[in-house]
Chain A
Amino acid sequence: MSTFDATAGRSGAAKRRFGYEERSALLFLLPVMTVLMAVAVFPILYSLYLSFFDVKLTRPNRTPFVWFDNYIDVFETPLFWTSVLRTVSFTVISVAAVTVIALLVSLLLNEKFRGRRLLSTVLLIPWAIPYVADALMWKWIYDSGYGALNGLLHQLGFIDKYVVWLGDQNKTIWLIANAFVWKEVPLAAILLLVTLKAIPEDLYQAAKVDGATVWRRFIHITLPSMRPGFMLVLVYETMVAIRHFDLFFVLTEGGPGDASHTLSWHIYVETFRSLSFGAGAAMSYILALITFALAYFIIRTVGRVN
């Protein structure tokens, strides 16, 4: 084929790729793409730009370009490593609990029994409650002076005097994780239930013929078949937990001391209390990279199909 012919061929291919329909589609997509550029892409790129400057709102006339100093400062701050530790603790506790409880709930909802639909509806209520309302409810429950938890335990005779809950640094992360799990289990259970319903009944019939017990059917058929559901739940819940903010804001404000000082709280304090937008942007990028790396790791391991 001659050079002329080759060029003509490429031009023809381009025309085929961007024919009338493609051009029309692009035209229709343009408004949405413009809006997305304005509200998503531009802020993301601008925050990356900000992360290389020492931007402090209370010092509006001095915003020097500092290269990677904001990123280096983050890693040199002991409180950052404390917040990483707290975030890891919270994420591991929460995601493990959500996954296990959601699995049990989905197994229950997969069975046929009277009142199953009502139970399914009731189970969705926590999911429908906004996080701030959820946090305020748990704040009342956990209150050491007049909280429902103390009242209940006292009336049942489990405690002889009121216990400090959120103010006790050894309990704080566990209690916040409990509030998180309560809210997140319904969605995770629904996701797992969908996977559960997709398992062919033939597999169980064949296993029964082979004499497999309920436990062996669960281990060898149910669990492996639910791998896509587990991957979805693990990725989603890890991403939600690692970035979670609302419960920490309402329940403890990062305290007591630094007992619930997670990464998202650290970013909030740096950005909106210290008003250091440059450092806050740098931390946000670090958190985004961590989240991305974790999601990638989970997809590569749990999502791998043998």
Chain B
Amino acid sequence: MVSHGKPSWLASKLGRREFLKATAFAGAAAVGAPRLFGAARAAEPLTMQTWSAAVDVVKSHLAAFEKKTGVHVDYGNAPWAQYRETMVTKFAGGAPVDMLWVSDAWLPEWAEAGWIAPIDGYDFLMQYNADVVQFCTDSMTYNGRQYGLTYYTDFMGFLYDADKLAAAGFSAPPKSWDEVVEQSLVMKQKRIAEFPMMLSMAQESWLIEFMSALTFSHGGRFTDADGKAIMQHAKDGAVSALQWVVDAVRKHEIVSPACVETGELAGLKAVSAGNHAFALLPKYRLRVLNDPAQSKVAGKIKQALMPMGPNGSHATVGWMRFHGMTAQSARDKARADETARLIEWFGGKADGQYTFQKLVFLDAGSDFAVKPLYQDPDVQAAYAKFADFNMIQQQQTLARQKDVIKPWFGEWSEVNGAAWQAAILGNVTPEAALDQSAKSWMKLKSRA
């Protein structure tokens, strides 16, 4: 209401008593505020931060945790592509985070910076290691301390289109990288595919997984046991793997030159559109590729063991994402205990079952690291719809941890990615590219 052109709250007069009351209340509030605030802090909810994956599953599982324990959890997520930068900024700025998802690639960096804390002081969490694939436990361990419980694991798979293979006159998928070239050339000749092999070599976070799979299967490594760069070595380094890629693009023309701008997701779309016969893709993509609603080649995409190089094996690269605890949370015993319970709810058993791992697998096809779930009838039935269960287990035993996971991995990865692309583009030889990459590695190592 307006009186004499003024708002009503201005028009009403404030009496002496009202003024004194208001002043007294304000004074009391000022004196009592810190205590009230302190009390509020003690009852502050936990904060859980993840990347934007399986968001609905996470929310529903979180709701069940809150209902069971009465502990409130604030949930936030950020896109995978910006997750590392987002979290580092949060850590540096002191933003409240208790539980978070961590990639094995960031573990040394975050542990060295003192942002995440080991969870191996909680025996009820460590008991789950008995159920976990060993390479996964290794991937969550840094300097002898374990930093989390498993969220999901996967490995790089060699996938092929069975129909295109048959059309080219081959009865079995290639066992070696030479056979990949041989079969691809036949497919090109028969116009089955212009670029039979799909490789994603764009400068993104997936690139190191593709490079590692190629390198391991060629019998090479990026670093030795002491962490020294050997990627530039002709025999036990990454040279033969990079040379194969360069030849595939520039000499045999079985891989598109656009591979340097093709990310993992774009590669997946190209394969699901039926453009390629062979592909390197994370194994869990089999589910999408064999889903008629999402793929033109549903039911035709199979997995074979990773082809091997002349001095190599069927080895591939595996990776691990896990539920971790921040150092900030670990400093407060009460919060740390609640965070540990939250980690168990997600990474261990919830009400006696590996509920979250199973839900995420059934929802998105993201693989789990806990062996008992392989015996679950629902899991086996789901696998049967899109993959060869035995092949998956066979390849998983040959998966290796990346050998470049060090605190300086992020910086080196930029240089290494550009070096591989420069070789693919024909600007430098594979030897020169990897020599540059090795020098960058050693320089960063010496600074650390």
Which residues of A does B touch, CB under 8 Å?
57-61, 144-145, 161, 164, 166-169, 252-259, 261, 269, 272-276
Contacts and interface: CB of A to CB of B under 8 A. Distances in A.
Interface in B258-272: 258-262, 266, 270
A167 B260 contact: yes
Interface stretch (B65-73, B361-369, B407-415): B407-415
Contacts of A274: 410-411, 414
B187 to A, nearest CB: 16
B250 to A, nearest CB: 12
B414 A258 contact: no
11 contacts: A58-B410, A60-B92, A61-B114, A252-B261, A253-B203, A254-B203, A255-B260, A256-B424, A257-B422, A257-B425, A269-B414
Given A169-B425, A258-B418, A269-B414, A57 B257 contact: no
Given A59-B113, A253-B202, A144 B261 contact: yes
Given A256-B424, A274-B414, 9 more contacts: A58-B109, A60-B91, A168-B257, A254-B203, A255-B260, A256-B260, A257-B418, A269-B414, A274-B411
A161 B257 CA distance: 13
B88 A57 contact: yes
Interface string B98-121: 000000000001101110000000
Given A256-B261, A258-B422, A58 B275 contact: no
A193 to B, nearest CB: 38
Q: How large is the interface on B (under 10, 10 to 19, 20 to 34, 35 or more residues)?
A: 20 to 34
A256 B113 CA distance: 32
A139 to B, nearest CB: 10
Interface of B: 85, 88-89, 91-92, 109-110, 112-114, 194, 202-204, 256-262, 266, 270, 275, 407, 410-411, 414, 418, 421-422, 424-425, 427
Contacts, number: 81
A168 B257 CA distance: 8
Specify the main secondary structure of chain B where it touches its partner. helix
Contacts of A253: 202-204
A255 B207 CA distance: 13
B260 A257 contact: yes
A164 B258 contact: yes
Contact of B113 (A58, A161, A252): A58
A276 B259 CA distance: 30
Nearest to A60: B113
Contacts of B407: 58
A144 B260 contact: no
Nearest to A172: B261
A57 B410 CA distance: 12
Contacts of B411: 273-274, 276
Contact of B275 (A145, A161, A254): A145
B261 A166 contact: yes
A145 B194 CA distance: 11
A255 B113 contact: no
A144 B418 CA distance: 20
Contact of B421 (A57, A61, A255, A269): A255
Contacts of A59: 112-113
A259 B85 CA distance: 24
Nearest to B411: A274
A272 B85 CA distance: 7
A254 B112 CA distance: 29
A12 to B, nearest CB: 43
A275 B257 contact: no
Given A255-B418, A257-B421, A145 B258 contact: yes
A161 B256 CA distance: 12
A264 B79 CA distance: 23
A57 B414 contact: no
A177 to B, nearest CB: 17
A57 B114 contact: no
Contacts of A269: 414
A275 B256 contact: no
A164 B427 CA distance: 17
A164 B201 CA distance: 14
B299 to A, nearest CB: 23
Contacts of B414: 269, 273-274
Determine which residue in A57, A254, A259, A276 has the highest number of CB atoms from chain B within 10 A of its CB, and name it: A57
Nearest to A272: B85
A273 B266 CA distance: 22
Nearest to A166: B261
A180 B79 CA distance: 27
B342 to A, nearest CB: 25
Contact of B258 (A167, A257, A261, A276): A167
A58 B258 contact: no
Contacts of B258: 144-145, 164, 167
B94 to A, nearest CB: 10
Contacts of B270: 145
A60 B256 CA distance: 43
A23 to B, nearest CB: 29
